[in-house]
Amino acid sequence: MASDVENLDPPPCGAKRVIDGVERVFYYGYWIKTYQAPADTLDAKKRLIEALTRRLFNHVEHGINIPGRRLGEARAAYDKETDPSMRRVKGAMLAGAMFNRATDIFTKLVELQTLGVEISTDNALMRECGKCLHEALDLGKTVLHRSGDEGIDELWGEPFKAFSIPVEAFYESRYNKIALAMRDIDEISTSLSRTLGEHAVFKGIALFVEAYCVAAKIKTETLRTDAEIFDVWARFAVAGERVQYFPPRIVFGADELETREAEHGVRLIKEAVALISDITRARVSMPKSTAEFVARCEVFRLGYGRA
């Protein structure tokens, strides 16, 4: 992970270069670590779709991971619902059932393939799998991130994309999203440091915020299967703790305004740590939440302005 800010004429997106012995690809000012894609087989696609579906359910609102065998029940509940709020949630549950049904189908197709049965791309079950993933993508656009702040459409589209395009092309498409996630992380970190970094109560926090920002971007580009994940995750977790629990320096006898200002700053710190963590773990951009956080930092500066 590296920004290309020192290059006045940056390379085009998708350009690759070996940096310190590691191949990286360039997107939007960031050199992102690349990984070798597995062979483009049904088994590889099955494993990829399974992993992407698990990741999706791990980051979206609770209660929508419905088994594929209950697809009929989920559809009936959705079709008869008239309350808009209830229909949104039931639509999310139907989308979850469809993702799981697609995974069920793919699993059986791979089992048949291992027995020597040739599976063509126009196989009826392959078409049904694609239909389930596509409908789930449409329904999933209104599903919220587990934080409740916004949807993360990119995660809903990934299983369908993994089904529709070669595995290598899917891997390449991920680097674009990782770069956008890194851009959000930089924006949140910069806004927090600019807001609190020179404030007397929080003086010195900027160094910890920068360390967390760097650790988060490295974690964003690092797969869980990477041998370095143990150090990468540990550094990210520790860096986040150091920011979150940074002690405000409130002088004895501080007035009510100073105390309220410190409390407001602490809330901003916790919000920043949580948002960066959400983006890092999901490995996709959360532009709405990022913009709202930056706006809250601006409110702090305008409301107090006593750095």
- For 265-304, the pLDDT digits (tens) are 999 999 999 999 999 998 889 898 999 999 999 998 887 6
- 25: which strand partners? 16, 32
Selected residue with higher pLDDT from 301 and 196:
196
Cα 10 versus chain centre, distance: 26
Q: Closest Cα partner for 63 from 100, 89, 81?
A: 89
Mean pLDDT of 236-257: 83
Pairing of strands 16-19, 2-3: unpaired
Q: pLDDT of 207-220, one tens digit each?
A: 999 999 999 999 99
Average pLDDT on 102-111 reads 84
pLDDT number for residue 263: 87
**Per-residue model confidence (pLDDT) at position 135:** 86
Find the mean pLDDT for residues 150-173: 77
**Could you tell me if 125 and 109 are in contact, meaning their C-beta atoms sit under 8 angstroms apart?**
yes
With a CB cutoff of 8 Å and minimum separation 6, the contacts of 259 are: 250
Q: Is 287 helix (H, G, I), strand (E, B) or coil?
A: helix
Are the beta carbons of 212 and 206 closer than 8 angstroms?
A: no
pLDDT of residue 160: 75
The answer, as to whether pTM is greater than 0.95, is no
Between CA 47 and CA 166 the distance in angstroms is 14
Q: By C-alpha distance, which of 288, 305, 270, 292 is closest to 195?
A: 305
The pLDDT of 16-45, averaged and rounded, is 92
Q: What is the DSSP annotation of 270-282?
A: HHHHHHHHHHHHH
Per-residue confidence (pLDDT) for residue 8, from 0 to 100: 59
What are the start-end ranges of the H helices in the chain? 42-59, 71-80, 84-114, 124-139, 153-164, 167-196, 205-221, 229-244, 256-282, 287-303
Span 193-208, mean pLDDT?
A: 90
- Residue 307 pLDDT: 42
Query: Please, which pLDDT band fits residue 199 given cuts at 50, 70 and 90?
Result: confident
pLDDT band at 148 (very low <50, low <70, confident <90, very high): low
- CA-atom Rg of the chain in angstroms: 22
Mean pLDDT of the chain: 86
Indicate the SS3 state at residue 292: helix
